[in-house]
Structure 1
Amino acid sequence: MPLLIEYLQLCWFTNNPKDLHPARAFFWKNVLFYVVSGIIVEANISDPADATLEVAMRTIVALMLLSTQILATKKAAMFYQLQTAVFMCENFIMTLGIGVEIFDAFAQGTAYEEYPIYLGAVLILWYLAIISYVFKRVFEFHYAKCIALAFVYFGLTYGGPFLLMEVI
């Protein structure tokens, strides 16, 4: 539980992923939670089979992109720290996203109908800020480069599988 709390503090920009040392089991539990929560969110938007395939592709893309960045910067020792930090923060944002989807279901036809769109936009901006922060702490790049990498990561991780599913 203390490790979970330390990783959640990354979402408030108060911890450094370099100082956290997760066990492999903790990392894989985060990946599993990412897949399950992603399927829940996507299954509310599309067919459950399509949702499962899209989330599986998104997970593979995320693991590959982060692994490539680790190898390119020669920081292989940071593999579990970076991967766990990113997946943990994504899980936190995804959990809040599930809450926004529930709110959206109840807000239909009310004066609050557009609020979930605004909340979703805030979550995406917060997500990009968190990923930029994690990249800054792990890779020690300039903030502009970290923000650009976060946008690329987001675009490839979420946009790539989405576009592929639209083509199929």
Structure 2
Amino acid sequence: MKLLTQYLWLCWFINNPADLVPSKSFMWKTVVFYLISGCIVEGLIADPADGSLEVFLRTIMAFSSIAVLLLIVKKWQYFNQLFTAIFVCENFIMTLAIAAEALDFVMVMNREEYREEISISLAVLLVGWYLAIVGYILRQFFSYKTGVSVILAFSYFVLTYGIPMLVMDI
């Protein structure tokens, strides 16, 4: 529980992910939660079978993107720490996305007049926060300047969400 708390502090831009060393058990639990929460969110948005496939593709892209980055900068030894840091924070954001989907459902049932504006605002907030977190993690790991970290975070987002979404649309 202490390790989870230390990783969750990354979501508030506290702690250095390079200082956190996850156990194998913690890493696998993080991946399993990533898959389950992703399937829940995608199942609420689209067809559960298509959503599950998209989450699987997203997971492959996430691991591949992290691996390529670490191979390029010749810091492969940080793979477990980096993917765990990103996945724990992404799991946190995904949990908030599930709550946002539930709120959207309640607003639909209550015929809330500004439901779309509220839902879109929450989605933009969560994506922005996600990009900031990934940028922070990359900046902490590699001592990149903020601009470079944000560009890498955006690239990671496009690779892990955009490409699987495009593949599913084909």
* 2:142 is equivalent to residue 139 of structure 1: yes
* CA distance in 1 between partners of 2:59 and 2:96 (Å): 19
* CA distance in 2 between partners of 1:100 and 1:157 (Å): 21
The share of aligned pairs that are identical, in percent, is 49
Residues 43-74 of structure 1 show CA distances to partners (whole Å, capped at 9, x for unaligned) of: 11111110111000000000000011111111
Normalising by structure 1, we get a TM-score of: 0.97
* CA distance in 2 between partners of 1:23 and 1:120 (Å): 32
Q: Structure 1 runs of 4+ off > 3 angstroms?
A: none
* CA distance in 1 between partners of 2:75 and 2:23 (Å): 18
* CA distance in 2 between partners of 1:27 and 1:83 (Å): 9
CA displacement at 1:112 relative to structure 2? 4.1
Residue 117 of structure 1: which of 115, 120, 125 is its match?
120
In the TM superposition, what are the counterparts of 1:87-166 in structure 2 within 5 Å? 87-108=87-108, 109-113=111-115, 114-166=117-169
CA displacement at 1:110 relative to structure 2? 1.0
* CA distance in 1 between partners of 2:3 and 2:152 (Å): 26
SS for the counterpart of 2:21 is coil
Normalising by structure 2, we get a TM-score of: 0.96
**Residue 38 of structure 1 aligns with which residue?**
38
Q: CA RMSD in A?
A: 0.8
The amino acid that maps onto 2:154 is F
The amino acid that maps onto 2:145 is H
SS for the counterpart of 1:30 is helix
* 2:26 is equivalent to residue 26 of structure 1: yes
Unpaired runs of 5+ residues, structure 1, are none
